[in-house]
Amino acid sequence: MGYTIDIDTGGTFTDGFFVCDGEIKTVKVATTPHDLTICFLECIKAGAEAFAMTAQDLLYNTDIVRFSNTIGTNTIIQRDGSKVGLIVTKGTEDLFFTQADSADAPLIHANMVMGIDEAMTTGGMVEQVPDAGPVLATAQKLIDQGARCLVVVLANAEINPANERAVRRIIKAEYPRDYLGSVPVFLASDISTRSGLQQRMNTAVLNAYIHAKLARLLYKAGEDLRQHEYRGTLFIGHNNGAVARVAKTRAVNTYNSGPAAGLLGACEVGKTYGLSNIISTDMGGTSFDVAYVCDGKPGYSLEPDIEGFTCNLPMLSIRALGTGGGSIASVDGSGVKVGPLSAGAVPGPAAYNLGGSQPTVTDANLLLGILDPEYFLGGNMPLHIDRASTVIDEVIARPLGLSIEQAAWLIKQQVDKDLGMAVSEAANHLRNGNDAVIVAYGGAGGLHACDMATAAGIRKIIMTPFSAIFSAYSSSLMDVGHIYYRRLDSPFNHSFDPQKLEIAVAEMRREAGGDMRGEGFRESELNYSLQLFIKNADGKREIRLDTQIDFFQQSGLLEALVKQAGTAMNSDGNDSPCVLSSVACLVKASISGHPVTALEKTQSHPDDAIKTRRRLYTGNSSMEVPVYDRSRLGYGHELAGPALLESDQATLLLSQNWNMNIDQFNNALLTEKQ
């Protein structure tokens, strides 16, 4: 087998996980926000260097490249996506938020939303077909006003897309694809057949807004790979937990794809230990992503919030906070506020000495002695303690009448409190949140894991040897796959007639088979499953049930699912009938990932791994603590805090009252003392 390459681009660093015949190399390079394809290729070059070969030789012998990125997320946050023209049913123009608030500019201004006359009943009957003349006039006006793409969202088109498709035909007849003046036309019904007109608008507009930039960058990344001798397919991470080639990737499916991979990785870690309730925490340079695994299944949002826009495209549930290593600290009354603004990769924290002039979490951890200025990223990126000291003194310490160390400690305390609160909220989704185990990762995750857990009241943490690049590692566990939706709106009870469902499933299987052949897989290699979306009669509650693709043909399984749906939907004591609103077919083809292998017990003493001692500031006092080389700790080693563990990519602070032991999988198991 050849090499496998998995790359995850974050706001500050880009991580790579490279494997060949059991040999693993991990790398970190600085993210290049102006062009993410640069750090993508630099990450591959760094991986090749780790294997002592050229990038061309590495890529020529690589079987698969998987890439998760923040292009879509950054585009929405920075408001630098395509100028979108939105065509809607007349009378619904105000459903899309077009006014600027105090923080963000609107994605679309009011003059770029226009209504047309058309009508579709809630039952899917066409009452009024859109007329070609007004449709073309509307499209032309939006184009004249600068629209680089058009989005069509018509009422009830999720039930019957005929009118949306008619609008697209009219526009494309005037602007064929082969004309230079042609503009892309996106239909909401192509993206989601789920209900909710405003949510459909949000989903379709977000998809179009980030589409052009994402397509340009991803196709460039693919071309860069080909120019460096890669012969395979570039697979893109999706927020449904699978990867797919660029040509079969919708832009909105890439949102939060890196954190989604990390959540699946945390779920796999849980399976190793038989754990069913897990909280995953990912702290990088820009943000802190928290998610959960309940009863062995990763959290899933049926109406996710994408940067303030409620959408109706289900995806793995991730909550992001603007608290990372580069998050900026400021005075807030008699205390401090940390984030959500970040110094990012450029200019970065003041300690990077790249022009950063605001105090950040990284600067505070450096002054507290948690970070070694000479060994940040294994010494590849020295930190400047004088720059960190200057900005924390000027911005935090002097205004609050504190010493520089006290100010830095105040920043860390606030971060631990904020993260602990987010973890506590995630624990509320679990049956017994206090018994949950945290799987902590991210480049900055180890710096705050213990104190964050203490603040949240959780006493157990798992950190893998790949925690610094965990989302890239988790990407190596992702299969190639696609998901398809069909609208049903059928009563889901004991008299349910599966005929309509069988037809929908057959259609989705045909579509899936064709797409997966394009990905290079035979039918015999495909695994199918269904997701049933059940609503109550008034549509105010919705649940998702996972089942086998042929459940309606198996004796007793349909009845069991009907009963399960009724119990879940009427848990409040009501007796509301259930409706099977829509069904999704998920198809996957497995790709061998990185196997977990057990280690033999080490014969060395943990003190043999001590590389130095360092003064650690902990509030009103300081103490000298041992600093361990993480690579020299093995199965059977046990440590008691306070202590520091360093690798060439991350640092772990083992706080007072915490113990740690390394198990047979080389994972660090952290437990708070009773």
**DSSP structure string for 73-87:** HHHHHHT-S--EEEE
Nearest one of 488, 499, 604, 471 to 558, comparing CA atoms: 499
Beta bridge partners of 86: 113, 151
SS3 state at 646: strand
Give the DSSP H/E element, type plus range, for residue 327: strand 327-332
pLDDT of residue 569: 80
- pLDDT < 50: residue spans in the chain: none
pLDDT of residue 574: 67
Residues 6+ apart with CB under 8 A from 34: none
pLDDT of residue 103: 61
Give the DSSP H/E element, type plus range, for residue 409: helix 404-427
Amino acid of residue 512: A
CB–CB of 628/643 below 8 Å? yes
Using DSSP bridges, classify how beta strands 278-283 and 288-294 pair: parallel, antiparallel or unpaired. Answer: antiparallel
Taking the CB of residue 493, how many other CB atoms lie within 10 A of it?
14
Nearest one of 644, 607, 605 to 627, comparing CA atoms: 644
Taking the CB of residue 78, how many other CB atoms lie within 10 A of it?
11
| CB burial of residue 505 (10 Å; 0-12, 13-18, 19+) | buried
HSE-up of residue 626 (Cα within 13 Å, Cβ side): 12
pLDDT of residue 328: 94
Residues 6+ apart with CB under 8 A from 563: none
Structure-token match 């909105």, residue found: 252
Q: What are the tokens at 469?
A: 């690049």
pLDDT of residue 547: 92
> How far apart are alpha carbons 312 and 291 in whole angstroms?
19
pLDDT of residue 39: 95
| CB burial of residue 595 (10 Å; 0-12, 13-18, 19+) | exposed
User: For 552-564, how does the pLDDT look when each residue is reduced to its tens digit (9 = 90+)?
Assistant: 888 788 889 988 8
C-alpha distances in angstroms, 385 versus 349, 391, 400, 404?
11, 10, 21, 12
Structure-token match 């989005």, residue found: 151
pLDDT of residue 42: 97
> How far apart are alpha carbons 31 and 36 in whole angstroms?
7
Amino acid of residue 635: Y
SS3 state at 47: helix
CB–CB of 441/461 below 8 Å? no
SS3 state at 589: strand
